[in-house]
Structure 1
Amino acid sequence: MSKIEKVLATGKTHTTAVTPSSVHSNVNLKLSAAGGRDISFDNIVAHPSAEQLFAGAWSSCYTLALTLAAAQNKVTLPADTSVDIEVDLGQTGDAYFLGARLIVNLPGLSQDAALTVAHAADQICPYSKAVRGNIDVAISVTTA
């Protein structure tokens, strides 16, 4: 697995806690261009980047995995649980790679409980399993 030397584009998502009744609800996407610029779409269909779509699908799946991991570990997730995922498309030499950062926000939990749930969710989530060993992934947990 190679590390990215030059980031070409980043897809970012922010996903809030998923409840079983909302698993099949609509998805609302707010898109931004490289460099953090918001995009205004007037009379055209929005086309998210592959990195944004991948981050969105992964964050939705991972957030549901957090719910399962919390239940398995007898931890009650805070109402304001959220996951931020950033997927980078980058280059090292002539080769292209993906990299990702998961920021798991579990305000009010102890750091130990939050880490346990976050890493258990990483073991449950099919997207996390699919990329494990294939791309560079960093997981950080905040409890504040």
Structure 2
Amino acid sequence: MIEIEPVYTTEAIATGAGRNGHVQTADGRLSFDLAIPQEMGGSGEGANPEQLFAAGYAACFHSALQMVARHAHKDLGDSSVGAQVSIGKAGEGFGLAVTLEVVIPDLPHDEAQQLANQAHQVCPYSNATRGNIRVDVVVVDD
């Protein structure tokens, strides 16, 4: 287990009927009605936990990528990170899988993949999921 010295802590509160309820951060900056996706038999008329996880992971991984690029003296240019989060049956319950799609238009594919692999070692979300769920890091050529 990784031990940390917290520099920031936030809180989100879920109310209502879980995936068909509401989530809000304690400071009120984020506030979402939730709905089960249509693919899972719901209305799809609200956000869902997988979307929120994808957004957080994409942003966090992009920050990690920028950090490792700075240390390597590489310019990421107009880079981006997309996170595809899947939920599906896993044994008796459900599990998640993630594909991170990294785009670094101005670097050769091999250099971009090397930076993405390094970011995967330092990203807090990657560290939290490592060994728990499948996470694929893929560099997509622009």
TM-score (norm 1): 0.66
What per-residue deviation string (whole Å, max 9, x for no partner) do you get for residues 60-101 of structure 1?
11111111010111111022x111101111103422111111
2:67 aligned partner:
68
Distance (Å, rounded) in 2 between the aligned partners of 1:95 and 1:130:
20
Q: Structure 1 residues 40 and 92, CA, compared in 2 at 3 Å: closer, same or farther?
A: closer
Aligned partner of residue 56 in structure 1, secondary structure: helix
Higher-RCO chain (CA-CA 8 Å, sequence separation at least 6): 1
Answer yes or no: is the 8 Å Cα contact 2:81–2:101 preserved in 1.
Answer: yes
Alignment CA distance shift 1:117-1:34 (3 Å):
farther
Identity in percent: 34
Hey, what's the Cα distance between the residues in 2 that align with 1:140 and 1:98? 17
**Once the 2 structures are TM-superposed, how far is the Cα of residue 40 of structure 1 from its aligned partner?**
10
Deviation at 1:34, TM superposition (A): 4.8
Find the aligned partners of 1:34 and 1:40 in 2 and give their Cα distance. Answer: 5
Distance 2:132 2:56 in 1: 18
- Distance (whole Å) between structure 2 residues aligned to residue 92 and residue 64 of structure 1: 31
Q: Residue 134 of structure 1 aligns with which residue?
A: 132
Looking at structure 2, the residues matched to 143 and 102 of structure 1 have their Cα atoms a distance apart, in angstroms, of 13
1:88 and 2:86 are equivalent in the alignment: yes
Give the match for residue 8 of structure 2.
none
Contact preservation (8 Å) 1:114, 1:143: no
Aligned to 1:120: 118
1:143, CA displacement in angstroms?
A: 2.9
Deviations 1:85-142 (A, max 9, x none): 0111110342211111100011121112101110111111100100001001111102
Once superposed, which parts of structure 1, at least 4 consecutive aligned residues long, lie more than 3 Å away? none
Q: Could you list the runs of 5+ residues in structure 2 that have no partner in the other structure?
A: 1-28, 31-36
1:116 partner SS: helix
> TM-score of the superposition, structure 2-length normalised?
0.66
Work out the number of aligned pairs and report it. Answer: 108
Match of residue 10 from structure 1: none
Give the RMSD, CA atoms, in angstroms: 2.7
Q: Is the 8 A contact 2:76 2:106 kept in 1?
A: no
Task: Decide which structure has the larger Cα Rg and report it.
Answer: 2
